[in-house]
């Protein structure tokens, strides 16, 4: 059995209607694994709203990741950076503190006010504030890459470039071009093949939230990721 370690965000487990179990065969990690062979199993490490910084923390702090998934991994898919690029109404550290507010009634009021006001703030600022700046995304992905290669230098990597979106929650697409350009630069600099999601994701079939992919996009991304992995020499047995 070969294991495909996928470090991702909600795009890795969310379909056009809802979040799905990670084993759902329609999700792009499962499509990728099926393309690579019947002996390939996915180890998915992902959460809603995760950035590359969260990926670094999972690799270094989660014993299941560094103690079980990494030692048995046959390849690594870096599928983080899509949420990083999204425009923000508040600094990420401040938004992430909302779940810790007490009492619950205050937390709910603050969350509702944030969700209602964020699109207006994002339009007013033109998307200048992001969940994580592209250079910071590159920094954390470099730490992930260097850390894993130190212990597993033979492992092949591929990276998914930041995905397009068309969402009323994040009504400005201005950060996308710069995020993709920085991601391409990073891939060239470190020698990691890139999967261009701009060419694969059809935003017209997205989830109503405008962020998460339809099944046709999952299928295309999964097949392209498998092709990129084969290009690294990770072939069928």
Range 58-86 average pLDDT: 97
The answer to whether the CB of 158 falls within 8 A of the CB of 229 is yes
Q: What domains can you pick out in the chain, each with its CATH number?
A: 2-87+132-231 (3.40.50.1110), 89-129 (no CATH)
The answer to whether the CB of 50 falls within 8 A of the CB of 83 is yes
**What is the spatial distance between Cα 180 and Cα 219, in angstroms, rounded to a whole number?**
21
The yes-or-no verdict on residue 237 having pLDDT over 70 is no
> How much is the pLDDT for 92?
87
The answer to whether the CB of 29 falls within 8 A of the CB of 77 is yes
**What is the spatial distance between Cα 198 and Cα 180, in angstroms, rounded to a whole number?**
9
Cα 104–chain centre separation? 30
Q: What is the pTM for the complete model shown?
A: 0.94
Instruction: Give the tens place of pLDDT for each residue, 22-66.
Output: 999 999 999 999 999 999 999 999 999 999 999 999 999 999 999
At residue 124, the 3 state secondary structure works out as helix
């Amino acid at each position: 059995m070969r294991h495909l370690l996928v470090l991702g965000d909600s795009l890795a487990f969310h379909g056009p209607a809802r979040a799905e179990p990670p084993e759902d065969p329609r999700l792009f990690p499962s499509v990728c694994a099926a393309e690579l062979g019947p002996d390939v199993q996915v180890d998915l490490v992902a959460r809603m709203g995760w950035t590359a910084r969260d990926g670094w923390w999972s690799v270094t702090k989660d014993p299941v990741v560094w103690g079980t998934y990494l030692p048995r991994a046959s390849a690594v898919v870096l599928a983080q950076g899509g949420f990083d690029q999204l425009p923000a109404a508040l600094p990420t550290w401040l938004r992430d503190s909302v779940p810790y507010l007490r009492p619950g009634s205050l937390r709910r009021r603050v969350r509702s006010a944030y969700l209602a006001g964020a699109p207006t703030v994002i339009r007013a600022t033109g998307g200048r504030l992001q969940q994580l700046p592209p250079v910071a995304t590159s920094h954390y992905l470099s730490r992930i890459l260097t850390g894993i290669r130190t212990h597993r230098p033979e492992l092949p990597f591929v990276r998914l470039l930041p995905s397009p979106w068309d969402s009323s929650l994040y009504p400005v697409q201005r950060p996308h071009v710069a995020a993709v350009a920085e991601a391409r630069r990073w891939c060239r600099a470190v020698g990691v093949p890139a999967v261009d999601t701009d060419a694969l994701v059809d935003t017209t079939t997205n989830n109503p939230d405008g962020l998460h992919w339809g099944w046709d996009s999952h299928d295309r991304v999964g097949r392209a990721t498998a092709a990129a992995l084969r290009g690294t020499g990770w072939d069928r047995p």
